[in-house]
Amino acid sequence: MHLLAIGTRKGLWLATSEDRTSWSLSGPHHPMTEVYAVAIDHRRDRPRLLVGTSSPHFGPTVVTSDDLGATWDEPDHAPIAFPEEVALERVWQLALTPDPEVVYAGTQPSALFRSEDGGRTYALVEGLWKHPHRERWGAGFGGQAIHTVLPDPVDPLRLVVAMSTGGVYRTFDGGSSWEPANTGIKAYFLPDPYPEFGQCVHKVSRHPSRPERLFLQNHHGVYRSDDGGATWASIAAGLPADFGFTVVSHPHDPDVVYTFPLTADGDRFPPGGECAVYRSSDAGSSWEALRAGLPDGFWTAVMRDAMCTDAASPAGVYFGSRSGEVYAGADEGKSWRRIAEHLPDVVCVRAAEV
């Protein structure tokens, strides 16, 4: 069965399908809570859903389900918490590792937490929290947050994280020490346009079988790294705009990447209102628009975690919009089908076979 988890500003919806053509939708789960982070954990015999929720009354937490959303386990005590003088505002990212017990969480304010019990409790990664740059990390319009966490699929001591604003950081020792990894990424809004850190990175994606290859969508700029983030090169040529929020690697082919371009800061719409996912099949040297089945007059946006792929063959590509529509391209995005509409703002989508 194919499962698509759809996180919105007012709850979670779950879509299921046997053929990726017809979909059944259930929800809302956790109504009236923001759901910015979802992970579908199928590293054990029974899949587990991990969901970062944020209630305006009760605050943020992480809830889990071991029966695909039929019931939910909400801990009595906050599973993610800062020292007393700092308040957790939101969980932005839940990231799985090859170890079935280890889960990472990226949060607002910018911090990284690690779970060693399958995502039920978390401990602060002190090395990043105490980094000397932290006091100078700024807040983008979405807040100061670690929104991308990329564990290395081979080496458990290596991770890459990205934040707004601060840029990309990486560790080679499991989080004890961290270094900025922003060489080549432009921050046009700063006096030094190529600073050591301070870039407003919107999203980074890593290819699962080629971990040194990363793709990045910046606040103006699309980049590729072939050395694990040590250096970055622009691949924006051929796109109708270099602004956007999301970037997604193909699950099987390290040369294939997807993005959803938006016009510049003042608008943040698809150019001309034409809804289009752009795909490169040569690691960013050229781009093509994938529009079959997508609408015109699409005056909305796709946020940083609102596009994903599944691991099927051919791969499915999925995205949700701020206007509450969700589209699926079961043929690697060559054609699209709308599978949900009139939802609240979609901020996160995750797909898996369960």
Token pair belonging to 266: 């003042």
**Domains in the chain, please, with CATH?**
2-353 (2.130.10.10)
Contact criterion met (CB below 8 Å) for 320 and 346? yes
- Check whether 286 has a pLDDT greater than 80: yes
Rg (CA), the chain: 19
Residue located via tokens 């007393």: 84
**Looking at residue 347, what is its pLDDT?**
98
Cβ neighbours of 206 (radius 10 Å): 21
- Check whether 334 has a pLDDT greater than 90: yes
Q: Tell me the percentage of the chain whose pLDDT exceeds 70.
A: 100
**Model confidence band, residue 83 (pLDDT cutoffs 50, 70, 90):** confident
**Looking at residue 262, what is its pLDDT?**
97
- Check whether 304 has a pLDDT greater than 90: yes
Which H/E stretch holds residue 129?
Answer: helix 126-129
- Check whether 101 has a pLDDT greater than 90: yes
**Looking at residue 239, what is its pLDDT?**
98
